[in-house]
Chains A and B, each alone.
Chain A
Amino acid sequence: METLRSPWPVLDPPYDEPSYRSTALRAPKRPLILLPHHLTERHGPVLGQGGVGAADADLTRQHAGEPIGQRIVVAGRVLGSDGRPVAGQLVEIWQANAAGRYAHSVDRHPAPLDPNFTGVGRCVTGADGSYRFVTILPGAYPWANHDKAWRPAHIHFSLFGRAFTERLVTQMYFPGDPLQPHDPILQAVREPAARQRLIAAYDIGLTEGEWALGYRWDIKIGGHLGTPTEEWVP
């Protein structure tokens, strides 16, 4: 049996990544089969219409009090591989609190929960593909992967492009985090330039005086093997 490696090693991390232990029993071992882009793959769901309000994009105002932590704005644009905006589409995020603890029952990290922070947000992109969240800077947190394993600060992002092939779940990191070179999940992206695409930039334009630091993160999503450009008509 040949070892499975993803056919796009330059961009996406492989399924089988020995330095990330959870892949050991979950990465498929057989070669992937090429799925042609037919009608089901060329279409995709349009989500979030009607079910997402402005309050869902401000993670600091979901409870009676304000969460502890450095208040931040995270904003950018969601673009397809052709550079065109992904407009009117759902963006979902989730993250740890400032102490590095998730509001999830299986998170056993002995850091405090914040009664004023759930760490879950969503919004719908504008006509130009823009999104904007207000939240707090997530803390680093330990995990059991290896000795002294700590995840660099990150926010999980779930994105729907314009087609099934453009569905993407990923993580956004913060600039200058010393934990990044030690993180097997980030480092599983082998190509340094591709890794850099996961790291937001401090943005003074998004920063609000006496209120919040701003980070810009633009997301470019596309089918791994190329986004269909010519429409096939049956």
Chain B
Amino acid sequence: MTPSQTAGPFLAIGVAWMEAERLVDPAAPGAVRIHGRVLDGAGQPVPDAVIEIWQADAVGRFPPEAPWSGFGRSLTDAAGRFRFVTVRPAALPSPEGPEAPHIDVSIFARGLLQRLVTRIYFPDEVAANGADPVLRSIADGAARRSLVAVAEADGSLRFDVHLQGPEETAFFAY
């Protein structure tokens, strides 16, 4: 297998052409705004990260059956912020029981020799999240909660990524 190497500090020149923050039109029915910041172990914003998301559509389809790419890419700004407009994916069946609606996330940056992988869950899916086999496999409550986005007053969802520190996000081996 070909090993991973860091995307380095200049990855923006290679990947900005396909920045894809709007998977759906913000005015489309069911559009959800998801945004957040990437923060390092000193609590400082990470301004040179690329966040990619990958998900099922609202009825649980993936390409080529789904009528969209299911893929998003956002480059963090000077404040470490990224943002997407998407729809809530359907819950999905799995051999370990139904998975709550979730979005798979990759994080690339200087200082990451491999991508980081995490998941975004939805805060109002209390019952589904409680039964989700991946969330249930995480013993630590704070780590589990780090995967659930926070509902903001304006109807958007906030998902901050803490690379390190007391609020470190749960990351996956895959």
Interface pair A41/B104, CB less than 8 Å apart? yes
**A81 shortest CB reach to chain B, Å:** 6
Query: Interface centre among A26, A44, A222, A234, by most B CB within 10 Å?
Result: A26
Q: Provide the bound-state CA to CA distance between A46 and B114, in Å.
A: 21
B13 in contact with A27 (CB, 8 Å): no
Does B152 lie at the interface of the complex (its beta carbon under 8 Å from any beta carbon of A)? no
Contact residues in A for B2 (Cβ distance below 8 Å): 168, 170, 197-198, 219-221
* Interface contact B168-A35, CB-CB below 8 Å: no
In the complex, the answer to whether A25 meets B4 with C-beta atoms within 8 Å is no
User: How far, in whole Å, are A223 and B114 apart by their CA atoms in the complex?
Assistant: 12
Residues of A74-105 at the interface with B, using a CB-CB cut-off of 8 Å, are 81, 90, 92-94, 102-104
Do B15 and A33 have beta carbons less than 8 Å apart? no
Q: How far is the CA of A17 from the CA of B102 in the complex (A)?
A: 31
Chain B residues near A168: list those with CB within 8 A: 2, 4
Contact A169 B4 (CB under 8 A): yes
Expressed in whole angstroms, the Cα–Cα distance for A118 and B17 within the complex equals 13
- Residues of chain B contacted by A106 (CB below 8 angstroms): 9-10, 48
In the complex, B133 has a CB within 8 A of chain A: yes
| B3 nearest CB across to chain A (Å) | 5
Q: Evaluate contact between B3 and A189: CB separation under 8 angstroms.
A: yes
Please give, as numbers and ranges, the residues of chain B lying within 8 Å of A170 by CB-CB distance.
2-5
Known: A20-B111, A22-B111, A46-B63. A30 touches B168 (CB 8 A): yes
B24-32, B90-98, B122-130: which one contacts chain A?
Answer: B90-98
From the candidates B1, B3, B8, name the one contacting A13 in the complex (CB within 8 A): B3
A44 pairs with B174, CB closer than 8 A: no
Please tell me if the beta carbons of B164 and A47 are within 8 angstroms of each other in the complex. Answer: no
B-contacting residues, A12-32, CB 8 Å: 12-15, 17, 20, 22-30, 32
Residues of A whose CB lies within 8 Å of any CB of B are 6-8, 11-15, 17, 20, 22-30, 32-41, 43-47, 51, 81, 90, 92-94, 102-104, 106-107, 118-120, 122, 156, 158, 164-165, 167-171, 185-186, 188-189, 194-195, 197-198, 219-225, 232, 234
User: Please, could you name 17 A-B residue pairs with CB atoms under 8 Å apart, sorted by A?
Assistant: A22-B6, A28-B171, A29-B41, A29-B168, A35-B134, A37-B174, A38-B92, A38-B99, A40-B62, A43-B54, A43-B63, A46-B69, A120-B17, A169-B5, A189-B3, A197-B2, A234-B92
Pairs A-B, 5 closest by C-beta atoms: A94-B14, A22-B111, A45-B71, A26-B111, A35-B172
